[in-house]
Chains A and B, each alone.
Chain A
Amino acid sequence: MQTAKELRASDQPPLVALNNISIAFGGIKAVDDVSVDLYPGEVVGLLGHNGAGKSTLIKVLSGAYQKDAGEILINGKPVEIHNPRDARANNIETIYQTLALADNLDAASNLFLGRELVTPFGLVDDSAMEAECRKIMGRLNPNFQKFSEPVSALSGGQRQSVAIARAVYFNARILIMDEPTAALGPHETQMVADLIHQLKAQGIGIFLIDHDVHAVMELCDRASVMKNGKLVGTVDIADVTDDDLLSMIILGKTPGSAEEAPS
């Protein structure tokens, strides 16, 4: 298999390209003419201050928000994503910063929400879903035992693992992770890192939003930095240091060695 870098060098179209995306909330340009792309087996980090527009940008891809301008290409073909169902239909899965779980339902019901397993009579098959849930949680978080409690009874980290399980279970090709380790302890954070490596090896493309520059340096192939809704630039992780990334985030300027931001 070609590495993401080789794929980028070839003239193959990227797995996802977000071109010139803009979206405003009542006059405030939350995302302003931003372009990022993602190749199979690649992890692209999205960095920036609080309120830079990272979550808003990826919500355009996950169908939560409607873009005002720009286009989304998947494998080079333009697609319309009007709602979360369209995104799922394109094998895009998302772990939201807010986790987006129905607190009153148990882990299995959340895992399959919107895509329930059903019996031949068309009734939801809770036993089968619980069994599948136990299987995937056994892989992701072997300590997880609270299968019959509503997720409101879970700890932040346990809720996070339910959200991650939901994104991973359905064979995503494009995975969006918005601060997936925000609520996790060091051990669980390491498990997510291992998971990202695994998924990458399977050829899945991942957008990873993370405030931890060290984690981005370790996990990502490229990083795109945003500031005040605009793209500062996209750099190859191999070409930059932690400090370069930090100065991009803080000063909003690309280091000399990095490729120029499309303007």
Chain B
Amino acid sequence: MTDTITIRDLKRGEHASVTGFTDAQAPIVRELREIGFSEGDDIEVLALGAFGATPISVRLNRTIIALRGGEAAMIEVARR
């Protein structure tokens, strides 16, 4: 595989699929999983905040989820 990137590295309109989490033990990962982020899921960056690219609106399957940059940087993805 190529080097790992996260949702944070994606540009607006880019599609990707979730490959994992940077720190599987972090408590926030459980929260991200509960709201639906899971390996293999189809995502797309829909909107970005004005400065510093936070928050980020992500389409996860048919759900839209808003994340801050910090959380987005925990979700590893592979570009489609």
- Physical interaction between A and B: no
